[in-house]
A and B are shown apart, each in its own frame.
Chain A
Amino acid sequence: EDQVTQSPEALRLQEGESSSLNCSYTVSGLRGLFWYRQDPGKGPEFLFTLYSAGEEKEKERLKATLTKKESFLHITAPKPEDSATYLCAVQAEATGFQKLVFGTGTRLLVSP
């Protein structure tokens, strides 16, 4: 069974304090790994898609990386507006075309 585990469940940072969020996955044939950001009371907002080990993508203070077993979302010099829940999801060959399996997320709070 395809599984996605995110850690930590919650993370509190001071503004400017860099850190990383982890997404470990077990899938039978990875087609793609997605990162989403979710603000309270809103739907998930797409951030990145990674397709193969070694791939990296960046957007402002965020950088996503991928290995064969896990993905990291690095947050450099975060600001309070980066506070949100970050969700990781995978699409695997065995679970069907277009089907995503989500982790339970990491709640990030950045204090000024």
Chain B
Amino acid sequence: DAGVIQSPRHEVTEMGQEVTLRCKPISGHDYLFWYRQTMMRGLELLIYFNNNVPIDDSGMPEDRFSAKMPNASFSTLKIQPSEPRDSAVYFCASSPLSPPSGRVDTQYFGPGTRLTVL
């Protein structure tokens, strides 16, 4: 498997512009996660999906952020309008369905998208 795929790898945009980040999870995984990583705050969960349905979006910072998962193999994270403080590395991760034991499954991360908002 190719692993989690993210695009673009780098994005530079100007304040006020719309930004769309894309993610293709590992085939067969039921969960998809969007994270943001900054030096100050580390890795923060923004939102996660189970079987294409958003489960918890409490980490989404503002209404400017939105995420969709139209099918099992594709998700987008959109920022509109973008602001300089949105500059960060955005990661997508996926994990399979947890076994009946209740133990959590490993999350597999993509390479990330480095976003710079000028």
A59 at the interface (CB under 8 A from B): no
* B111→A98 contact, CB < 8 A: no
Interface pick from B13-21, B42-50, B76-84: B42-50
Residues from chain B with Cβ under 8 Å of A87 in the complex: 42-43
Given A98-B31, A98-B48, A104-B42: A46 in contact with B56 (beta carbons within 8 A) = no
Q: Is the CB of B104 within 8 A of A43?
A: no
Q: How far is the CA of A96 from the CA of B91 in the complex (A)?
A: 20
Contact A49 B106 (CB under 8 A): yes
The residues of A that contact B104 with a CB separation of less than 8 Å are 31-32, 49, 91, 97-98
Nearest residue, chain A, Cβ from B40: A104
Q: Is B107 an interface residue (CB 8 A)?
A: yes
Q: Which of B95, B102, B107, B110 has its CB near the most chain A CB atoms (within 10 A)?
A: B107
Which A residues form the contact surface with B (CB < 8 A)?
A: 31-32, 34, 36, 41-46, 49, 51, 87, 89, 91, 96-105
Point out the residues of chain A lying under 8 angstroms from B110, CB to CB. Answer: 43
CB distance from B47 to the nearest CB of A (A): 10
Contact B45 A43 (CB under 8 A): no
Question: Given A91-B104, A98-B95: A44 and B109 within 8 A (CB)?
Answer: yes
> In chain B, residues 26-56, which have Cβ atoms closer than 8 Å to a Cβ of chain A?
31, 33, 41-45, 48, 50, 55-56
- Among B44, B93, B103, B108, contact of A51 (Cβ-Cβ < 8 Å): B103
Tell me the minimal C-beta distance from A5 to chain B in angstroms.
11
The 5 closest A-B pairs by CB, nearest first: A43-B109, A104-B42, A102-B43, A32-B104, A44-B109
CB of A45, distance to nearest CB on chain B (Å):
7
Interface contact A96-B56, CB-CB below 8 Å: yes
* Most chain A beta-carbon contacts within 10 A, residue among B42, B50, B103, B109: B42
CB-CB nearest in chain B for A36: B109
How far is A4 from B43 in the complex, measured between Cα atoms in Å?
11
Q: Other CB < 8 Å A-B pairs besides A34-B107, A101-B45, A105-B42, 15 of them?
A: A32-B103, A43-B109, A43-B111, A44-B109, A45-B109, A46-B106, A46-B108, A51-B103, A89-B43, A91-B104, A98-B55, A98-B95, A98-B104, A99-B48, A100-B107
